[in-house]
Amino acid sequence: MSSQLKLLSVAAFFNALSWIILIPIWQYPDEQAHFAQVQDVAELGSVPKMPPDTSLEIALSEEILGTTRDEFGNNKFTYHPEYKLTYAPGFSGPQESAIASLPKSARTQLVKREATLNPPLYYFVGAFSYKLFYGSSLSSRVYAARFVSAIFFLTTIALSYQIGSLIFAKNKILPLVLVSLVAFKPMMVFASTGVLPDTLTNFLFTLILFFSLKILSSGLTILRLLGLIVVLILGILTRQQFIIAIPIVSLPIVYQLIKNWRRINRPILMILSLVVLVIFWSFFVPQLAQVRSRILAEMNQPNLILIFNPKFLEHIGWTINHSIAEVLPWYWGVYKWLSLTVPHINYQVINRIIALALLGLIIRFFLIFKNKRFTNQDLILLFMIFASAFYFLVFLIWDYFFRLRYGYSFGIQGRYFFPLVVAHLSILLMGLFQIFEVIFKRYAKLATLMIVFLMIIFNDVSLAHVSSSYYDTSSFTTFVNQASQYKPVLFKGNIILAILLSTFILQSLFLLNLAKYISAVAKKRT
């Protein structure tokens, strides 16, 4: 591992830790509901089939922390970014002792329905961390589960470097730039460090992308095929919609089957045939009903004829407008129960960078047709564009049938597209580097440093903005006191400032180290 990667890994860990300690309990997306499932698995073995399914401990903490939902699903923070809790002068919240003094029986005394009913894999892992801190406070058990999420996020970061090395095989700098963008994309960090299965889903889908690119560029092998099958199974055991990955991974497999039909060995064909047969017969054989149920999860067996209804065209137009106006900004950052976004200037800068990247992609495709030269990297680019477009299309169609059934949109959020975030950022980077080569020519590699710098600044600005919406930042003392409340003992007091300062120093050191490395590589090429 290079010094740049080592430094990035440490900086990314401290950055994730900074988000973890500053985001109050139950302020990640539906964190209390996901933790309720973790607690049910740890305490009861599974979520009760009939309500109630959420403990008195969680219900009381929600009441104290202002996240109890009303009949419309809203709490004190929803639509009210200005709302703040009442804090005490010291390190302990005014009602922190009320939560801590609850007996252990409050963990199994179920009082309401709120626990999620997602596939079990993430929650079994979360339950393991829960049991490790079984004798500790609620906040300690929540933070233990948050650290599990952070571990999955860090593995996603490491994997994104491997993907970058596949995509930019002849470039030593761009893989580092890509992994930096993944590590410090603020909404990605936010969605990957709370108690929610998104972080495991994102990791497993990134593995799907890795295997797909391996197959696409280097061929189909038994190990890669078996790896794909294992990841698909784990993914379906994590999120219902992971089934979307099957058509995506099928494309590189079919490509290699057509391209290298004579060289594909029999074991691979046998495995592929077996998978296809299992899926096919699952619709007819009762013993394979579990496979069928996973494939049809959340689809509700829609009538596909309705796609030809004029309402579908209206839905497409509405979805495109909605995606540009809301989903895209939320992809880059929405916090505090969907009530808080970063200052608008951040989105203005992002939109201009995206426009530059799109221009770069247009130039790239023009050069491909002009030179009549199609490289392996171009093939990968087309696949990532296809995967991203297909993923979006699936959500568009699913939301269409949801609207037909319930009369309103499900409410697609930007973070729902994070399973392919590495592909998105790779496409963005390829477009930007193309335009940089046109504008900056031999200094194009140095220009990529600016993108990393902007992403880190965006991360820090986002964290500062979100933190100031929860805590009084007028003085260090007040900030530390408020940020310490309803937290584990380990994260009370000046340790918060120490972690934040360490994060800033490590980010600065990484940028300096990366700048030196890019400069050295650029000089060798000139």
pLDDT surpassing 50 at residue 41: yes
Structural domains of the chain, count = 1
Q: Would you say residue 36 lies in a domain?
A: yes
In-domain check, residue 280 = no
Above 70 in pLDDT, residue 272?
no
Q: Is residue 284 included in any domain, yes or no?
A: no
Distance CA 311, CA 404 (A): 9
Global pTM reads: 0.93
Q: Which of 423, 443, 420 is nearest to 433 (CA)?
A: 443
pLDDT at residue 406, rounded to an integer: 85
Q: Which is it for strands 110-112 and 54-55: parallel, antiparallel or unpaired?
A: antiparallel
Q: Got the DSSP string for 303-366?
A: -GGGGGSHHHHHHHHHHHHHIIIIIHHHHH--BTTTTB---HHHHHHHHHHHHHHHHHHHHHHH
Q: Does the pLDDT value for residue 72 go beyond 50?
A: yes
pLDDT at residue number 279 = 59
Q: What is the mean pLDDT of residues 470-492?
A: 97
Query: What integer is the mean pLDDT of 118-140?
Result: 97
Query: CA 435, CA 359: separation in Å to the nearest integer?
Result: 7
Domain residue limits at 437: 3-264+300-524
In a domain, 276, yes or no: no
30 inside domain: yes
Amino acid 67: pLDDT: 96
The answer as to whether 288 is a domain residue is no
d(CA 338, CA 80): 9
Summarised one tens digit per residue, pLDDT across range 193-217 is 999 999 999 999 999 999 999 999 9
pLDDT at residue 287 in the model: 46
Q: Of all helices (H) and strands (E), which one includes residue 477?
A: helix 476-484
pLDDT at residue 522 is higher than 80: no
Name the β-bridge partners of 54: 112
- Is the torsion defined by CA of 80, 86, 478, 456 positive or negative? negative
Per-residue pLDDT of 227-259, as tens digits, reads: 998 999 999 999 988 989 988 998 998 888 888
Q: What is the pLDDT of residue 389?
A: 96
Is residue 294 included in any domain, yes or no?
Answer: no
Q: Nearest CA to 13 among 269, 189, 265, 220? A: 189
| Two structure tokens written together for 108 | 């199994």
- Say if 285 falls within a structural domain: no
**Average pLDDT over every residue of 166-170:** 93
pLDDT at 37: 98
pLDDT above 60 for 267:
yes
Closest to 515 in 3D by CA, of 463, 430, 456: 456
Question: Percent of the chain, pLDDT > 90?
Answer: 75
Given pLDDT bands bounded at 50, 70 and 90, which one contains residue 441?
confident
